[in-house]
Amino acid sequence: MKLVNFEWKKVVVALLIVGMIVTMKKPVVAFSQGGILVVIDPGHSSGYNQGCVSGYTEGDWSMEQALEDKAALEACGFSVILTRDREGNPGLYERGQMAVQNSAGYDAVVFMSNHTNAYGDTQNPNASGVSAITSAYLSEKNTQLINTVMKAVADEMNQVTGVTDVKGIEVCQNFNGEDYYGVIRGSVSGARSVAEAAEGPVQYTFILEHGFHTNQAECSYLSDSRNRKAIAAAKASAFSEFFYGVTSSVPNIQTTQVMPQDDFYMHGVVNVCDDDTLNLRLEPNSDYDNVR
Ligand SMILES: [Zn+2]
């Protein structure tokens, strides 16, 4: 009898552990499936920002990645639009505003701008990793989504590159208080306070730097279409888990499921930048308002 009691205790402990895990896996935000719009901005334009691997440009990669992201997110029940086509190059503020202008009828709107980072003009092994830039005025939910997506992308890339980790989130502002980067500023309609940003339809906004195109390992990785599919699947899984609380798998794509650890959220880095190290301002034929 003692042995039986002991076994029951083990079962109870096991059930408690399962209960804790189920509780931890609850979505950060609960939404019904189908009600979320993701506006993907393929950063820059075709042929822009050559990488250290022959044939790679950030402006063409961002388009290919956006198309993969769109397919994976749609397969998971999200509505998706892109801010440009292959030939297009809309102004930066205008790109952010597309999320605002297309928001009607959705429960939530996410703006995500796809970029790759640069450190110097040529190949440099000393800079690698995934980082993000967001608005100074959105809530903790926004930070949590960004951390979740950054970790999913970094973990996926790192399986092959071995050098890709999460660097953190930056917030950059102009002297007048508006967000510094045009796409971010556009997505919150030039808000200068938490209250102003809260009135807008876009409560999730970020530029995501998917590693460095000046890093050989990361640029090689991003040049392979199979890896772009893997990144898209990892992102779609992260979005599904965050918004719907379900683990979605995209058909025919091998993905790695990553559960963010609790303390990952708490220790998410938010830096304030003091100069433009991210190579986002340099657009051909752009005026001040468009560029920044
Ligand atoms: Zn860029």
**Which of 201-210, 250-259, 263-272 is modeled with the greatest confidence?**
201-210
Please state, in angstroms and rounded to a whole number, the distance separating the CA atoms of residues 252 and 277.
38
Name the residue with higher pLDDT: 9 or 173.
Answer: 173
Spacing, Cα 273 to ligand 1 middle (Å)? 16
- 285: left (phi > 0), else alpha (psi -120 to 50), else beta? left
Spacing, Cα 11 to ligand 1 middle (Å)? 53
Spacing, Cα 229 to ligand 1 middle (Å)? 20
Residue 274 burial (10 A CB sphere; 0-12, 13-18, 19+): exposed
Strand duo 79-82 + 166-171: pairing: unpaired
The neighbouring-strand residues paired with 37 are 79, 109
CATH code of domain 34-275: 3.40.630.40
Spacing, Cα 265 to ligand 1 middle (Å)? 25
Domain residue spans of the chain: 34-275
Spacing, Cα 233 to ligand 1 middle (Å)? 22
Q: Tell me if 33 sits within 8 A of 244, measured CB to CB.
A: yes
Per-residue pLDDT averaged across 9-13, rounded? 51
CA distances from 15 to 12, 19, 20, 26, 214 (A): 5, 6, 9, 17, 49
Spacing, Cα 3 to ligand 1 middle (Å)? 63
Instruction: Find tokens 């399986």 and name the residue.
Output: 159
Q: What is the pLDDT of residues 127-146, one digit of tens each?
A: 999 999 999 999 999 999 99
Q: Tell me if 230 sits within 8 A of 65, measured CB to CB.
A: no
Per-residue pLDDT averaged across 158-179, rounded? 93
Spacing, Cα 224 to ligand 1 middle (Å)? 19
Spacing, Cα 208 to ligand 1 middle (Å)? 9
Spacing, Cα 19 to ligand 1 middle (Å)? 43
Spacing, Cα 162 to ligand 1 middle (Å)? 22
List all residues 6 or more positions away from 55 whose beta carbon is below 8 Å from its beta carbon: 223
**Phi (first) and psi of residue 134, to 5 degrees:** -135, 180
**Phi (first) and psi of residue 162, to 5 degrees:** 75, 0
Spacing, Cα 85 to ligand 1 middle (Å)? 16
Q: What is the pLDDT of residues 72-112, one digit of tens each?
A: 999 999 999 999 999 999 999 999 999 999 999 999 999 99
Spacing, Cα 17 to ligand 1 middle (Å)? 44
Spacing, Cα 83 to ligand 1 middle (Å)? 15
Per-residue pLDDT averaged across 109-130, rounded? 94
Q: What is the pLDDT of residues 200-228, one digit of tens each?
A: 999 999 999 999 999 999 999 999 999 99
Strands, sheet with 270-272, edge to edge from the N-terminal-most edge strand: 79-82, 36-42, 108-117, 202-212, 130-134, 166-171, 270-272
- Residue 29, SS3? coil
Give me the pLDDT at residue 31, please: 72
Structure tokens at 141: 């939910």
